[in-house]
Structure formats: structure tokens, C-alpha cells
Amino acid sequence: MRELHVDTIRDTVRRLCIEANAVLPEALEQCIRSGADRETSPAGKSVFADLCANLDAARETGLPICQDTGMAVVFLTLGQDVHIVGGSLRDAVNAGVAAGYIDGYLRCSVVGDPLERVNTGNNTPAVLHLDIAEGDKVTIDVCPKGFGSENMSALKMFTPAASQEDIIGFVADTVNRAGSNPCPPIVVGVGIGGDFEQCAFLAKKALCRDVAVRNEKPLYAGLEAQMLEAVNRLGIGPQGFGGSVTALAVNIEQAPTHIAGLPVAVNIGCHVTRHAHAEI
């Protein structure tokens, strides 16, 4: 049994919060930088040039890529041979988020109650997804999620009679209704299967997958390509000014479901769909 002190968890989460908000994953940054070559609209090309300049400025200054530094979503996988010592794991995650947002001069956007609307002052609590795996390692992914894009997400409980075309249409319609609100070019996470809440979780997990990685099952990899094509045919374009690149990638995650259901969730991410990873 390996012992791991909560301070290590706290410090790692702190570092990842700051890193994720200042530097995009390499594959996503390359998608943005190559977008100007694929974009057909002059206005869209100009937007891509501004986005690239913004990425450069964030890296050089250490400042956030976007002023909405998001609600901290943390995926933590705990090896079953790890014994956490020194305190509460959840408290350590929240302490890391608080330290990262305060020390990193990141905007604190979390309110402690959805109706009373009082800001907590340190961007906690985080949304924590905890999983258990074999081994003695801990992996942490911090995914700050801005709400300009989060608010545009949707979920639909299809019947099993729904076709693949119906699902593709739902994804495209969700993006079409969103328009310029999620700051395109976007990344689209799609969850298929599970039940009501697992489907939404799958969409968020898909959104936080590297855009260079396709679904390992050919059926879903093909659907990712078809959905991306359908979304880009909408013509919304960068920042909603029109063009051929509305989305940079569509990622799908799927899970077993009930014989009577076919849940589908769409979680939209802006062009700065941020996440940072560490293994302890």
C-alpha cells in the first residue's frame, strides 16, 4: 500500500488550474493555428489570426487565455492501492482549486447557492468526478469550464428507434441554436448511452479528450466525422461571423444503456476548451 499525503493532491491541483488556464493542449492549439488555412471566409481568417495572437500573449505573459476562467471540473482517478493520508481528499482538491485561482489571479465565478447567488470568493467548490482503478497511481485532469459554452449544452432522451441521422441532426441543431454564444470555433463533446446523468457525464468526459484522439470504435469514429461535417455545414463560422470552420472537433463517448432508452447529451466547449493532466 502506497501512502500519499493530501498536500501533494492540493499542490498538483493548484498547478493544473493555473496551467490549464494559460496554455491550451497542443493538439487543440494546432487545430486553431491551422484553422485559418481551412477557413474560407475573410472575416473568419481574421478571427483566427486574433485567436492565435491571443494564444501567444497568454503563453508569454502567463495570463489566462480567456477572462472566463471557468468552473473547475476535476476528474480524479485513484489507484486502489493508494492510501490517502493527512486529511480529506475532497478538501484537498478544493484547497488546490482555491490556491490556484487566488495565486494565479484567475477570475472566481462560483456562487455557493444557485438562487442566493453569493460568490464563494475562491472558485470552490469544484465539480469532482472520482473514479477507482487498479494500481498505486493517482491521475488528475483539471478542466476549467466557462459558461458561455456550457449554457448552450443540451440532452435528449431518444427512443431506441432513433437513427444515427437523428442523433447527428440533434447535435447539429444544438450547435445551430447556440450560434455565436459559445465563441466558435468550438469543440463538441457528445455522450451516447447510459442513463440521464451518465449521458451528461460522458459528454463532459468526451469534451475533455484530446482532439487528436478519435473514438476507438470505428462506428463512433465515423459518427464523429459525420457530426463534424454537419456542424461545419451550418456556416456559423469563427465567432459567429460566418465561415466554414464552426467546430474544430467532435468527440463521442458511449456507454451501455437500457433496452427502452437512447440518451444523447451534447456538451459544447469554446475554442479554449482547456484541460491539464498529471499523474502522481
Please give, one letter per residue, the 3-state secondary structure of 171-239.
HHHHHHHHCCCCCCCEEEEEEEEECHHHHHHHHHHHHCCCCCCCCCCHHHHHHHHHHHHHHHCCCCCHH
Query: How many other C-beta atoms can be found within 10 angstroms of the C-beta atom of residue 230?
Result: 20
C-alpha angle with apex 23: 229 to 228, nearest 5 degrees? 5
**C-alpha to C-alpha distances, 79 to 15, 82, 83, 206, 252, nearest whole angstrom:** 21, 5, 9, 22, 26
User: Average pLDDT, stretch 163-189?
Assistant: 97
Measured between alpha carbons, how far is 277 from 213 in angstroms, rounded to an integer?
Answer: 15
**The pLDDT of residue 169:** 98
Query: How many other C-beta atoms can be found within 10 angstroms of the C-beta atom of residue 224?
Result: 18
pLDDT band of 35, cuts 50, 70, 90: confident
User: Average pLDDT, stretch 256-278?
Assistant: 96
What nine digits make up the cell of 156?
435528449
Is the pLDDT score of 62 beyond 90? no
Helix, strand, coil percentages (3-state) for the chain, rounded to 5, are 40, 25, 35
**The pLDDT of residue 1:** 84
**The pLDDT of residue 37:** 85
Residue with the bigger pLDDT between 262 and 37: it is 262
Measured in whole angstroms, the distance separating CA 193 from the mean position of its chain's CA atoms is 19
At 133, give phi and psi (nearest 5°).
-135, 170
Query: How many other C-beta atoms can be found within 10 angstroms of the C-beta atom of residue 3?
Result: 10
Please return the burial class of 233, using the count of CB atoms within 10 Å of its CB with bins 0-12, 13-18 and 19+.
Answer: exposed
Is the pLDDT score of 105 beyond 90? yes
Is the pLDDT score of 256 beyond 90? yes
Measuring CA to CA, which residue among 193, 260, 280, 269 is closest to residue 231? Answer: 269
Is the pLDDT score of 135 beyond 90? yes
Instruction: Name the DSSP class of 239.
Output: G
Is the pLDDT score of 14 beyond 90? yes
pLDDT band of 118, cuts 50, 70, 90: very high
Please return the burial class of 148, using the count of CB atoms within 10 Å of its CB with bins 0-12, 13-18 and 19+.
Answer: middle
**C-alpha to C-alpha distances, 94 to 3, 159, 217, nearest whole angstrom:** 20, 39, 35
Q: Is the peptide bond before 256 cis (omega within 30 degrees of 0)?
A: no
Are the C-beta atoms of residues 131 and 76 closer than 8 Å to each other? yes
Mean pLDDT across the chain: 96
What nine digits make up the cell of 51?
485567436
Instruction: Name the DSSP class of 270.
Output: -
**The pLDDT of residue 36:** 82
